[in-house]
A = this chain, B = another copy of it.
Amino acid sequence: MAPGGPRRCRRLEGEAARAVLANADTLLFDCDGVLWRGEAAVSGAAETLGKLAALGKRLCYVTNNSGRTRAAYIEKLRRLGFPPAEPRHIFSSAFCAARYLRQALPPNSAAYVLGSPALAAELEAVGIPYLGTGPAALPGPAPADWVKAPLVPAVRAVLVGFDEHFSYAKLCQALRYLLRGGPDCLLVGTNRDHRLPLEGGAGIPGTGCLVKAVETAAQREAFIVGKPNRFMFDCVAKEFPVDPARTIMVGDRLDTDILMGNDCGLTTLLTLTGVTALDEVRGHQDSGCPARQGLVPDYYVDSIADLLPVLGE
C-alpha cells in the first residue's frame, strides 16, 4: 500500500509488473477461480506458474476449500499441468483446521466433525480422533429422544467444514457437545464462504451456512481457520521463512483472499477469472469507508496468464 493515502488498485503490467515480481520471492495462490474453474485450468495459468517456479519463486496454495486433502491438491495440480508441488506447499482449510486443533486441544481429545472425508483424513494425519462424518439420523421420534443419545466423553471440539450430509440430527448433536463442554469445547469452522460457485454460474450453499447454523444454536462465535483470518498465513510463515514485504497473495475474492493479504502486509493481486468484477473494487475504493479499504487490492490482472510476457523467456 502506498504510504500516506488510500490504496488504489492498478493493473499490473509492463515495467511495474516486472518490478513487483522481481521483488517477490513467495507467491500464495488461491486455487478455484485463479488457477482453475472446476476441472478446467485457466488458460495459460499452468505455464505462468511454471515460469515463476523456474525463476526460483516459492509457490504456495492457500484455499478455503475443505473438501480435498493435500494429496488431492497435489494430484490436481499435476493433472492440470502445473509445476510439481509438495504437501508442505498446500495450505487448505482442512489441513490448517487439523493443525489448529492439534495445537489447541488438550492431549487425548477428540473432535465431533461436520465435514468431508478429506477433513477427516487431515485430522487422522495429525492424530486427532474424530467422529461424526457421513450421514446421521435422529435417534428416535421425539425431541426427548434426541437429547438422550450417548455423547463421547473425549470430544472437546466441534469442527464445521463443508458437509453434504449436514442435517438437523448433526446440528443437534453438535449443540449437545457445545452445551456439555461450555467454553472447554472448541467451536471451529474451516471458512465462512456462503456459496461455492460452479461452472456455468450456478452456486451451491457454502460452509458459511453450516457454520452460521451451529453458531446460532450455540449462541457463540466459531474460530474461523480460513481466509480472511490470518491463521492460514501464519501456517505458511511457520513452514517457510516468508517476508510479508516480499510475498504476493493472488486471489479472486476480495473478502477472503485480498482482505487476508492486506491484513498480513502482503502485496495483493486480484485476478478477474473468478467471482469478482472490477466494479466491486471501484465501489470499495471510492466509498471513503476505511473498513472497505481492506478489500481493495494493490493490483489486478484479467488473468494470471497476463503475467507471462513480463516473465521473459
Residues of A within 8 A of B (CB): 38, 138, 143-144, 146-147, 163-169, 171-172, 175, 179, 194-196, 198-199, 202-206, 208-210, 212-217, 219
Contact = CB atoms under 8 A, between A and B. Distances in A.
A219 B205 contact: no
Contacts of A195: 175, 217, 219
A161 B165 CA distance: 20
B217 A172 contact: no
Contact of A198 (B147, B194, B208): B147
A152 B41 CA distance: 34
Contact of A168 (B164, B202, B215): B164
Contacts of A212: 209, 212-213, 215-216
A213 to B, nearest CB: 4
B168 A205 contact: yes
Given A143-B198, A198-B147, A171 B216 contact: no
Given A166-B168, A168-B165, A216-B209, A143 B194 contact: no
A144 B216 contact: no
Nearest to A169: B164
A138 B163 CA distance: 12
Contacts of A216: 194, 205, 208-209, 212
A116 to B, nearest CB: 11
A243 to B, nearest CB: 37
Given A194-B219, A212-B213, A212-B216, A204 B166 contact: no
B163 A204 contact: no
Contact of A171 (B38, B143, B166, B203): B166
